[in-house]
Structure 1
Amino acid sequence: MKTRHVLAASLLLCMPLLVAATAPAPLTPEQTFDLYAQVMLEDDAAAARTLNDALRPAFDGQDSLEFNKGAFAGALAAPLQGLLAAAGSDNARIEAMPAVVAANLGKTRCRAQGSTLRDNDAVDGAKVATVDFTCQVTALDGLRPLFDASVADNTPAGLKRFTDGYVAAVSSGPRREVRGSVDLYPAKDNGYWYSGNLDALVAPVVEALLPFDAWQQEVAAKDAPTVTGVASCDLLLQQHRQCVAKIAPEQLNGVDAMADELRDKAQTQSVEAMVQECKALRPIAEMMWTDACR
């Protein structure tokens, strides 16, 4: 009996150590990104629970992420449903688009490839983790001629030819790899990582799945004066100059300075870097545009 009491006491003394040993370790930036991607793109409820469980200590015991199955796919499918309706598709096909998009997103496999840490200039002693990642997205470049033809034709028949090809590609077409990066921010003395901008997590996937605005800009950019040699930048400069000339001509010198800066950067930066730079500048410029510019 005495031996049993000694063993029982020893087990009780060890219990806190056993509990501590089984507590989940804080997630790395890479693990955090992978879970976010699984939740948002793959509708993975288990990943949502894992992420919320891991981040709860950093969020005062509350869940940091709300899981809504199918919400993201439904949001992406909405403009596609409008296109299908304009092309005269039947209701069954239109209503099936959220499920088609959800199945496509489930194959994206966005996963972290590594991360780098840097000082957070806005918070003393804090870090920012930049996570580099890859995603497997549907290859839609082959549909570009159908898209251009549908824009030029501007008829339901032309639009239907494009939407038929688009739905087929999204359903079972080949895939390609895209790369991206996103910043994760710390909580609890850099022990936990979270996203302050969920849109940035999925931007490469959205741009690949819904490239229509980018395609239209490329067509429009063919007529823009060459300043940087990068189509999207030259189009932005042309549109911004035309707008400022209408609403605030006294500020055209600011447009000239913007053009000079982008021209200089284009001499040393890659086309891809310039595209990203002008993509970030566009919404800032558009904030200044009134209805007269649109």
Structure 2
Amino acid sequence: MLKPAFILLLGTPLTAVAAQPVALSLEDTFDAYVQVILHGNEASKETLRENLLLLENSDSVDAIVDALDALQLSKAAFNGTAMEPVSRALEMRRKTLSCTITNITRETVHSTPQAKVAYRCAFPDLSGFFATYRNAQKRRAVVGDVPEDAKALFVAFANALRDAPDRSHEGSAVFLKMPDNGPWLSSNLPQLGMTLLQQALPFDTWNTRVEAESVPTVTGIPTCDLMMAAELTFIARHHPQNPFLSNGMLQGNLLKRVEGMSDEEATRDCRMVHERNRELWNREKTD
């Protein structure tokens, strides 16, 4: 005699027994990305993995999801070094990080649903520590690497990271809806992890600022001013009769180029040009 539970199972539609996974909504997809990027949330990582596995090409899903947690990668690199206090402070501070959607604009392009999601985040504002960092770098340039100095600097920075006020960071991400009711995907929201890393651990940015203090100010954007100084130095060394050295045309062109860009956009653009120029200069030296 069949048991009642088994009889009920026989009468249940097959689709209810083996239901197919349903793609996350746009809002839930954004939240899953943010929870992984900001907090390294394991449940959100699994949710995002399951969502991305709805795509046919799923070989790189684990790598994609793990790469979103940029802060965790840095934290692991700090363990056992003078920056271990920074690692502990970062783990504490990331619990307070947040990003919320401020607006969603939807449209359909070539039959593909798209959405632009504007968001606002609360990140630590460490600008008040820059003067301390600059002084430490100037001392290092004079006396060399002193382990005790480095340890004291990173302990002070860790304290600043824990206590720093919030600053507002605004951005936007474009999402595309995959066919056949597939998941929403964003190519540029993962960049939020790098933005957060640069703001929570701004040492590279600060080093560039310190270096740019020794070159003429053209745009006020350190990377762009360093690029211009390097370009003029190269021309002076290898093409001393070039009129660009004295007529200000290169500086004017740079100002026009970055006009209307945010500092972040201009920095990316100037860095790209700087690297391209460096390749050309190195090639010219070897020709």
TM-score by length of 2: 0.70
Which residues of structure 2 form unaligned runs of 5+? 1-7, 283-287
Aligned equivalent of 1:206: 197
- What percentage of residue pairs aligned between the two structures are identical? 23
User: In 1, distance between residues paired with 2:139 and 2:209?
Assistant: 18
- 1:102 has 2:91 as partner: yes
Aligned equivalent of 2:36: 39
User: In 1, distance between residues paired with 2:112 and 2:239?
Assistant: 42
2:135 to 106, 124, 149: 149
**Shift of the alpha carbon at 1:151?**
0.9
- 1:132 has 2:118 as partner: yes
**Shift of the alpha carbon at 1:252?**
9.8
User: In 1, distance between residues paired with 2:192 and 2:86?
Assistant: 23
8 A contact 1:245–1:252 mirrored in 2: no
Aligned equivalent of 2:4: none
Aligned equivalent of 1:227: 218
Q: 1:266 to 1:74 in 2, by over 3 A?
A: closer
1:61-113 C-alpha deviation (Å, 9 max, x unpaired): 7683456599643422366569x63xxxxxxxx55654443333232223433
**Which aligned pairs between 1:45-60 and structure 2 lie closer than 5 A?**
45-59=42-56
User: In 2, distance between residues paired with 1:291 and 1:104?
Assistant: 43
Q: Tell me the amino acid that sits aligned with residue 167 of structure 1.
A: A
1:11-57 C-alpha deviation (Å, 9 max, x unpaired): 65xx468679x866533444322211212331222112222223322
Q: 1:61 to 1:199 in 2, by over 3 A?
A: closer
8 A contact 1:40–1:72 mirrored in 2: yes
TM-score by length of 1: 0.68
**Which aligned pairs between 1:4-83 and structure 2 lie closer than 5 A?**
12=12, 15=13, 26-59=23-56, 64-66=61-63, 72-77=70-75
Please give the root-mean-square deviation of Cα atoms over the aligned residues, in Å: 4.3
- 1:263 has 2:255 as partner: yes
Q: 1:264 to 1:68 in 2, by over 3 A?
A: closer
**Shift of the alpha carbon at 1:202?**
1.0
How many pairs were matched up? 268
Aligned equivalent of 1:90: none
Greater RCO, 1 or 2 (C-alpha within 8 Å, sep 6+): 2
8 A contact 1:244–1:252 mirrored in 2: no
Q: Tell me the amino acid that sits aligned with residue 289 of structure 1.
A: R
